[in-house]
Structures are given as structure tokens and as C-alpha cells.
Amino acid sequence: MVGNEETIALVLNRLRRAQGQLGGVIAMIEQGRDCKEVVTQLAAVSRALDRAGFKIVATGLRECLTGAGTDGAEPMSEAELEKLFLALA
């Protein structure tokens, strides 16, 4: 994972929140809750996952631009970064 401890903590927090929301969506479906409520919560899960992904990509971009990789690996190429962005689109 790229990024400093603060960035990693933010990403993990977002992913844990999404995990909790997804559990809630599953429970709502099992309970036969209203479609509108289920879709609203599912959209919230999707946004939480997107934000975590964007944070990871943004951190990778910053490290690529500054050459500040944490694992000594080669910085990502422009094509690799573009592919990451498109994976989240």
C-alpha cells in the first residue's frame, strides 16, 4: 500500500465504514426493506469504496510525481496511473 500512516488509516477507516454499510444493506434485503432505502444505502457503500480507491490512486500519483515510493519500486508510468483511474470510473 502506498502512503504514509495517516493516509493508510484514512483508507482503512473508509473501507471499514463501507464494510459496515454493506452488512447493513445485506440485512435490509434479508428483512425485505423498501427498495428505495436499500438502493440509497447501496449507493453510500459504493461512494465509500470509490473514495477509498481515489485516495489510494491520489497517493500513488503524488508518490509517482515526487519519486517518494515507500518500497523502493519504480514509480508508476502515466499509462499505469491512467489505468488505475479508469478502473474506478
pLDDT per position as a tens digit, 64-83: 666 655 566 677 777 877 88
- pLDDT of the residue at 64: 65
Residue 21 contacts residue 48 (beta carbons within 8 Å) = yes
- pLDDT of the residue at 68: 59
Structural domain boundaries, residue 52 = 5-88
CA–CA distance from 70 to each of 23, 29, 56 (Å)?
33, 42, 14
CATH number of 36's domain: 1.20.58.1000
pTM: 0.71
Q: Count of CB atoms within 10 A of residue 87's CB?
A: 9
pLDDT per position as a tens digit, 4-62: 788 889 899 999 999 999 999 999 999 999 999 999 999 999 999 988 888 888 887 77
Number of domains, the chain: 1
- pLDDT of the residue at 1: 55
Q: Which DSSP symbol is given to 60?
A: H
What are the helix and strand counts (H, E) for the chain? 3, 0
